[in-house]
Structure 1
Amino acid sequence: MAMKFKTIVFSKAPDAEPEKHRAVVESSLMKLFVQVVKTADQAYDLARKLVAEEGLHSVLLCPGFSHAEVARMQEAAGPTVSVSVARGDGPGNRVIAEVFRQVGWH
């Protein structure tokens, strides 16, 4: 079997159940893990596991991860893994903040 690009997208949610709120999408060239976590520590633990077991190449974090948490993810994932963050602009952030308010996120 040919090598695949292996990446994970982490999103935080206050009601996350990591064992339940996850998915894997696979194509012939890519294996995409999607994981909802309650805490950054849950994300670090899973990233370490996927690096060891799957040879993970990349981590993408949602905007809910702080700068310090992004740095800690890089430490957890190691130097062979790319760590990126999805960030929005001011207007986009206001849209999301309103949606979060409406659904009772905060």
Structure 2
Amino acid sequence: MPFKSLFLSGSPDANPVKDRALVKTELSEVEVVLVKHSDFSRILDICKDFASKGGNAIILCPGFTHEQVAEIAKTVGKDVSVNVARGDGKSSLAARKAMERAGWFNPKKA
């Protein structure tokens, strides 16, 4: 059985039903799912489903709060690793500028 990871990345226009991809080798599987941070109950459902199907590790983008990370860890239990991708201040600023250019903070696009 391969090591199974789930990477959750936030996007204001995400539809997690269709905005997903799976990359597999014999030893590893990585599923990437785009989610709306504002739809946290759906995020918890995705994590529960992943854990129930034998998932091993969840990786979260930097947009998740400490409280959300804790709730996800509580939801999936001790047998699923929960990790957070974090950058330094300079990296976060560069990402924010790119998000602004893409229109992430424009309410008409979100």
* TM-score, with length taken from structure 2: 0.90
Shift of 1:62: 0.1
Distance 2:41 2:88 in 1: 26
Shift of 1:41: 2.3
Shift of 1:14: 0.6
- Counterpart residue identity of residue 95, structure 1: A
> Can you list the C-alpha shifts for 1:32-84, whole angstroms capped at 9, x where unaligned?
111001133222111111211x2001000000100000000101111101000
Residue of structure 1 equivalent to 2:108: none
Q: How does 1:2-17 map to 2 (within 5 A)?
A: 3-17=1-15
Distance 1:81 1:90 in 2: 29
| Contact map agreement 1:17 1:37 (CA 8 A) in 2 | yes
Residue of structure 2 equivalent to 1:41: 41
| Contact map agreement 1:9 1:60 (CA 8 A) in 2 | yes
Residue of structure 2 equivalent to 1:55: 54
- Counterpart residue identity of residue 40, structure 1: F
Q: Structure 1: 5+ residue runs without aligned partners? A: none
Moved over 4 A (4+): none
Does the alignment pair 1:64 with 2:69?
Answer: no
Residue of structure 1 equivalent to 2:74: 75
- Counterpart residue identity of residue 46, structure 1: I
Distance 1:93 1:44 in 2: 25
Residue of structure 1 equivalent to 2:17: 19
* TM-score, with length taken from structure 1: 0.93
Distance 1:83 1:66 in 2: 13
C-alpha root-mean-square deviation of aligned residues, in Å?
0.9
Distance 1:19 1:12 in 2: 14
Number of aligned positions between the proteins? 103
Q: Structure 2: 5+ residue runs without aligned partners? A: 106-110
